[in-house]
Every structure is written in structure tokens, then in C-alpha cells.
Amino acid sequence: MLRHNISYKLLALAIAIVIWAYAGKEQGSDISRKLRHPVPLEVRGLEPGSLVVAKPKTVTVVLEGNRVQIEPMIQELEETDAVTAFVNLHGKTAGRYTAPVKIELPQGYSGLARKRAIPEEVLVTLVKKSQKTMKIDVQFAGTPHADYRLGEPELSPASAKVMGTTGAINAVKKLAVSVDAGKVQPNGIDGDFPILAQDDSGKQAREVELSPERVHVHIRLNTGNAADAEKGSP
């Protein structure tokens, strides 16, 4: 009887050792995990006068390392969206380039895992940025109070640069600021307004940059009924 008990105990001990060794191996093993959500691909080092017209919007990030460290790290990084993917285009001019994708982890994580992107390289197309200068018009919305007459708008600056590809710039037919005349105060209008790039249908033009992006508008207000003012004019 005693001999049988010893046999069972030895068998149980052997099973426990195997389980312990397997668990230790699993904890110490390296794993590879993808972040659940794609990471936006940023551009760094873009030279003045260059414009990116084609590149992937996102990449997949893979982290590799010890299971004990990787699994909680993946969970924390997915909750914070703190992983950065980018390509460095420093020194590149117009043309098509194959650029390696770099991955940055937040401070405190960088030394705990190996990191890579899928794809590891991306194709980026650059063109020379074109520009032209256009005057800015004021567009009034609403109707001012009957006793208010708006003076001539004064804009500073009176024009802005439109920058982008040649095709995108040619699509811009007008630069304008929108002023709500129905909200005019007794002291007139004096403030900064965003500049709108409009196409030939009056809709906002896409894929262009404006410099500056805002303009200062000053409009003096003349009191008195507008119709009376017109009658009294020579």
C-alpha cells in the first residue's frame, strides 16, 4: 500500500514539474502581436516647396518580444493611440520614392519591444508646390438692421497666396470671407475671419493651402436709414 502511494506521489510530482516547466517556457517565450487598429502614417522632413500627392494613409504596427511584457503593452498602447508611424523625406525633391516606415513608441516603452511596420516600405510621390496670389472678396450673409449702412470693407491683407498642385490651384476661382450682416453690432465689424477658397460652383476647393489662413476685416457702420441716405445723395 505504501509503495503504491509513493508511486502516485512521484507521478503527481512529475506532472507538476512538466506543467511548471511548460508554464515557465510560455512566459519566457517571444511572441509577435499586431496592434488592432491601423496607425496613421505621418510625413516628416518635407522640404519647403514640396508637396506629397500620394502615400498610404495608414500602416499596421507589429510588436515583438517577451510575452510577459508584450501582452500588457499592447493593451495599454491600443487604449492610448500613442504609437507613431512616419516616413522621413528630408532632402527629397519632386519624384517617386520608396521610403522606410519608422515606428515610435511612447517614452518608457521603446526598449521593451522590437517594432516594425507592415509594409516596412511605402511608395511616396512628391511634386513641386505651385502658388499664386489672389485678392480676397467679402461675402455678406443675412440682412443688416434697417438703420445700418455698411461701409466699404477694409481687409488686411487684401490678398492671399494659394499653394498646391497646379491642378488644385487652377480649380480655385475665388478667395472670400463670409460675414454675417445680420449680426452687425453698432460699432461695425472688426475681427479676424477665415479665408475660403472656392471653386467655380462656390464650393470649398480641396487640396490647397492658404497663406495667411485668416484675414482681418474692418467695416465701418453708418447710422440712418439706407433708403433715406440714397434719396439724400446727389
Q: What confidence tier does 232 reach under pLDDT thresholds 50, 70, 90?
A: very low
> Is residue 8 in some structural domain?
no
Question: How far is C-alpha 186 from the geometric centre of its chain's CA atoms?
Answer: 40
The answer for residues whose C-beta is within 8 angstroms of residue 146's C-beta and 6 or more apart is 225, 226
> Is residue 105 in some structural domain?
yes
Question: How far is C-alpha 45 from the geometric centre of its chain's CA atoms?
Answer: 16
Tell me the backbone φ, ψ of residue 142, rounded to 5 degrees: 80, 180
> Is residue 2 in some structural domain?
no
**154 and 202, same domain (yes or no):** yes
Instruction: Give Dmax over CA atoms of the chain in angstroms.
Output: 129
Q: What confidence tier does 19 reach under pLDDT thresholds 50, 70, 90?
A: low
CATH for 158: 2.170.120.40
At residue 229, the pLDDT reads: 41
- Could you list the residue range(s) of the whole structural domain that residue 164 is in? 130-232
**181 and 214, same domain (yes or no):** yes
Domain boundary among 106, 128, 150: 128
Q: pLDDT per residue over 76-126, tens digit each?
A: 888 888 899 999 999 999 999 999 999 999 888 877 889 999 999 999 999
**166 and 110, same domain (yes or no):** no
Q: pLDDT per residue over 41-60, tens digit each?
A: 999 999 988 989 899 999 99
Rounded to the nearest integer, the mean pLDDT of the chain is 83
CA dihedral 168, 174, 178, 182 (to 10 degrees): -150
At residue 28, the pLDDT reads: 56
**110 and 193, same domain (yes or no):** no
Q: Which DSSP category does 82 fall into?
A: -
**41 and 103, same domain (yes or no):** yes
**74 and 152, same domain (yes or no):** no
**104 and 36, same domain (yes or no):** yes
> Is residue 52 in some structural domain?
yes
Give the number of domains in the chain: 2
CATH for 124: 2.170.120.30
Q: pLDDT per residue over 180-221, tens digit each?
A: 887 777 777 888 999 999 999 999 998 899 999 999 999 887
Q: What's at 21, amino acid-wise?
A: A
> Is residue 14 in some structural domain?
no
> Is residue 221 in some structural domain?
yes
Output the pTM of the full model. 0.61
What number of other Cβ atoms are within 10 A of residue 186's Cβ? 9
**Residue 108 DSSP SS3:** coil
**122 and 165, same domain (yes or no):** no
**66 and 119, same domain (yes or no):** yes
